[in-house]
């Protein structure tokens, strides 16, 4: 058997689908310049045509045809040499669109393999999100914000070639810088600038060793798939009980309504932004609760509306329908490390909550998530993104 390489690229459905495809194609084409063979494909079950769904694409490269066939025998590689994450909010865990439990972002990385993340954060900050492993691996950052490169009219921001440069550094046996340059010159527009971007990324990429056991210790929600004779008949799913009132932990008042939600269907990994609620300005108009397509809002005993952050997929409809200025604000997931109830936090210490709220919203207004906050925001962010990329 010859040499076999597997690389996965994890991005958000629709927004990063083209970018991920460009990267996996680039890997195969760059490796081909060194006489290697390869294929590039997407995980079929991901349905990456859905907003924000974590989706995977793969590049399998081999030194010869027989070895490539061996690599293709598994449709989806369960082990990869390099895993690339295009949006750092995905570091909290990912799931396929057809839900089968949350998986750690680094689950497929081989022992000693490399996890590459496009992020403005440093490895220590990301390790609060990335789940711990039993084996050591490397973690490297390509500095940048979540790129939309290749999506409709969005400008090419060189994210694809910068990642190729980082790969050449992480695994020179896959391909070297010269092969990337040859690929860029042959296949891409604006070759000289892109070759330079790849070169810079190569030089700057400095992955750090992550020892076994370091990282987020939270358990991942998983479940066992039932056998055919245990499953309900008729392609049917039992409904959840209705739910009911619950207790205010401070006043001990019982009231409101919390529906029972399916604990096997938590959609938070789809989310790259979450609603942050100012409970002091809320007029209890009910619109967020009525319009939420996922029934994610609880009615609290004091008549407020609290988003259940395990069920919320971050669509932003609540923010859009809320008639009060800055009462519901969608904030980038990068700001958060848990799915805890905002209302509980508010009840425990209102002043503390409001202080946190104002700083978070203030900071968040500069953040871009997959849902733009207003027309033209992307264009405004281009200079800042360039600066991050050039100075990193």
Per the document, the length of the chain is: 392
Residues contacting residue 164 through CB under 8 Å, at least 6 positions apart = 23, 26, 27, 30, 180, 183, 198, 201
Q: Distance (Å, rounded) from C-alpha 167 to C-alpha 161?
A: 10
Minimum CB separation of residue 311 from other proteins in Å reads: 16
Minimum CB separation of residue 295 from other proteins in Å reads: 13
Closer of 108 and 146 to other proteins (Cβ): 108
Q: Report the 10 Å Cβ neighbour count for 196.
A: 15
Q: Among residues 163, 21, 143, 6, which one has the least CA distance to residue 84?
A: 163
Closer of 73 and 238 to other proteins (Cβ): 238
Minimum CB separation of residue 238 from other proteins in Å reads: 6
Closer of 134 and 236 to other proteins (Cβ): 236
Contact positions toward other proteins, by CB under 8 A? Answer: 45, 96-98, 100, 225-229, 231-240
Closer of 232 and 375 to other proteins (Cβ): 232
Closer of 97 and 279 to other proteins (Cβ): 97
Minimum CB separation of residue 97 from other proteins in Å reads: 8
Residue with tokens 């069920």: 311
Minimum CB separation of residue 333 from other proteins in Å reads: 25
Q: Are 271 and 330 in contact (CB under 8 A)?
A: no
Q: Are 81 and 174 in contact (CB under 8 A)?
A: yes
Q: Are 346 and 276 in contact (CB under 8 A)?
A: no
Burial class of residue 295 (count of CB atoms within 10 Å of its CB; 0-12, 13-18, 19+): middle
Residue with tokens 């295009």: 86
Q: Are 21 and 190 in contact (CB under 8 A)?
A: no
Sign, Cα dihedral of 340, 343, 349, 350: positive
Q: Report the 10 Å Cβ neighbour count for 256.
A: 20
Q: Distance (Å, rounded) from C-alpha 217 to C-alpha 120?
A: 23
Closer of 153 and 235 to other proteins (Cβ): 235
Minimum CB separation of residue 102 from other proteins in Å reads: 15
Q: Which two tokens stand for residue 355?
A: 């202080």
**Of all helices (H) and strands (E), which one includes residue 254?**
strand 254-258
Q: Pairing between strand 328-332 and 273-277?
A: antiparallel
Closer of 49 and 387 to other proteins (Cβ): 49
Closer of 185 and 240 to other proteins (Cβ): 240
Closer of 43 and 92 to other proteins (Cβ): 43
Q: Are 57 and 86 in contact (CB under 8 A)?
A: no
CA 289 to chain centre: 26
Minimum CB separation of residue 83 from other proteins in Å reads: 22
Closer of 35 and 227 to other proteins (Cβ): 227
Residue with tokens 């680039």: 26
Beta-bridge partner residues of 247: 254
């Amino acid at each position: 058997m010859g040499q076999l390489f597997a690389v996965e690229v994890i991005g958000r459905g629709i927004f990063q689908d083209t970018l991920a495809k460009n990267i996996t194609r680039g890997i195969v084409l760059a490796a081909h310049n060194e006489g290697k063979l390869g294929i590039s494909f997407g995980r079929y079950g991901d349905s990456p045509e859905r907003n924000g769904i974590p989706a995977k694409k793969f590049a399998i490269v081999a030194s010869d045809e027989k070895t490539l066939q061996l690599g293709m025998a598994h449709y989806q590689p369960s082990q990869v040499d390099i895993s690339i994450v295009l949006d750092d909010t995905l570091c909290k865990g990912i799931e396929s669109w057809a839900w089968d439990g949350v998986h750690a972002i680094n689950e497929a990385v081989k022992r000693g393999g490399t996890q590459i993340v496009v992020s403005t954060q440093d490895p220590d900050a990301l390790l609060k999100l990335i789940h711990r492993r039993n084996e050591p691996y490397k973690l490297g950052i390509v500095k940048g914000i979540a790129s939309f490169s290749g999506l409709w009219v969005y400008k090419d921001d060189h994210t694809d070639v910068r990642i190729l440069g980082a790969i050449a550094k992480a695994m020179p046996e896959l391909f070297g810088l010269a092969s990337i340059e040859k690929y860029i010159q042959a296949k891409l527009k604006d070759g000289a600038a892109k070759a330079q971007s790849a070169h810079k990324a190569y030089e700057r990429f400095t992955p750090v060793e992550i020892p076994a056991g370091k990282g987020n210790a939270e358990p991942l929600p998983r479940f066992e798939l039932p056998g055919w004779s245990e499953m309900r008949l008729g392609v049917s799913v039992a409904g959840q009980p209705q739910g009911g009132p619950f207790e205010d932990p401070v006043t001990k008042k019982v009231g409101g309504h919390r529906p029972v939600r399916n604990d096997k269907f938590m959609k938070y990994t789809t989310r790259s932004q979450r609603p942050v609620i100012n409970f002091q300005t809320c007029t209890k108009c009910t619109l967020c609760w009525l319009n939420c397509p996922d029934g994610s809002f609880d009615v609290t005993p004091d008549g407020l509306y609290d988003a259940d952050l395990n069920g919320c997929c971050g669509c932003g409809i609540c923010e859009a329908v809320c008639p009060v200025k800055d009462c519901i604000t969608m904030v980038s997931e990068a700001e958060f490390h848990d799915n805890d109830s905002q209302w509980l936090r508010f009840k425990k210490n209102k002043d503390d909550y409001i202080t946190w709220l104002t700083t978070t919203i203030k900071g968040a207004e500069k953040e871009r998530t997959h849902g733009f906050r207003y027309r033209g925001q992307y264009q405004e962010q281009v200079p800042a993104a360039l600066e991050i990329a050039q100075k990193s």
